[in-house]
Amino acid sequence: MGNGIAHVAARSGLRVILHDLEQRFLDRALGTIAKNLDREVAKGTISADDKSAALSRVIPSTQNGALAEADFVIEAVIEDFETKAKVFAAVDTIARPGVILASNTSSISITKIASKTKRPDRVIGMHFMNPVPVMTLVEIVRGLATSDGTCETTKALAESLRKTPVEVNDFPGFVSNRVLMPMINEAIYCVMEGVGTPESIDSVMKLGMNHPMGPLTLADLIGLDVCLGTMEVLHTGLGDSKYRPCPLLRKMVDAGRLGKKSGQGFYKY
């Protein structure tokens, strides 16, 4: 997600400091950005010169200190609260006062992340969708302390990246995963209970509801471990049994069938 966010920011003319733990992760990210920009060149949406200019605006760095010159910070580290808490506490001491710190988290409380900093009014969720260069939505998540000014600046930034910001409040799963994940979980119950095969369930949702992709294909794409993690956030955060993760989802994750990335999920890859 980090390379996708860097891609759209650099393509929109912004200078980007792309920070990661190791140089090899940065090299891989730069390779991905170059490949994805090539796709846009092939489609004719940007020129080869635009591609080179965008790439030259991405400055890779493994040094935390590099963030001292940032005007806006977007965090996209792994979906783990302890990791994000450490990153926000550290970045809070490095970024200039007044700089907004945004998180791309899919489900972790923005209010809780903000509490790890001394600028909770300037912490916000900026939830991009995957793949970032293609999807237009950015869910803008307001924590309890997020100021109006922070929200307006963040929405303006999203628009300058040619995205459509939609503001929501900080509750488990926000809106996107609160609505999407229970649907995927229910589709998995349908497989477990023999209501339909993955193919038939996906066909019903594609042909009958005009979804571009069936829920089980989508679950495989997202990663079944990620789906389970999000259902657990909804279940513990909202305390309602309607969010209990389907036992078949748990079993598949236990078996290492994580979807497309592991070669097998509801489908074989």
* Count of chain residues binding ligand NAD (CB under 6 A): 19
Residues 6+ apart with CB under 8 A from 22: 62
77 binds ligand NAD (CB under 6 A): yes
- Binding letters toward ligand NAD, positions 22-61, x by CB under 6 A: ---x------------------------------------
Given the complex with ligand NAD, which of 84 and 190 has the nearer CB atom? 84
Give exposure, 8-17, as e/b (b: 16+ Cβ within 10 Å).
bbbbbebebb
Whether omega before 212 lies within 30 degrees of 0, making that bond cis, reads: no
Which value, to the nearest 10 degrees, does the dihedral of the CA atoms of residues 125, 129, 132, 133 take?
-120
- Binding letters toward ligand NAD, positions 174-213, x by CB under 6 A: ----------------------------------------
Which listed range, 78-86, 137-145, 181-189, 198-206, lies at the site for ligand NAD (CB under 6 A)?
Answer: 78-86
Among 7, 8, 16, 20, binds ligand NAD (CB under 6 A): 20
Among 105, 117, 154, 217, binds ligand NAD (CB under 6 A): 105
DSSP H helices in the chain: 2-11, 23-43, 48-56, 81-94, 110-114, 148-160, 176-192, 198-203, 209, 215-222, 224-238, 247-254
Which listed range, 36-44, 49-57, 123-131, 200-208, lies at the site for ligand NAD (CB under 6 A)?
Answer: 123-131
d(C-alpha 154, C-alpha 140), whole Å: 8
List residues binding ligand NAD (CB under 6 A).
1-2, 19-21, 25, 76-79, 83, 87, 104-106, 127-128, 130, 222
Residues assigned a catalytic role: 106, 127, 139, 177
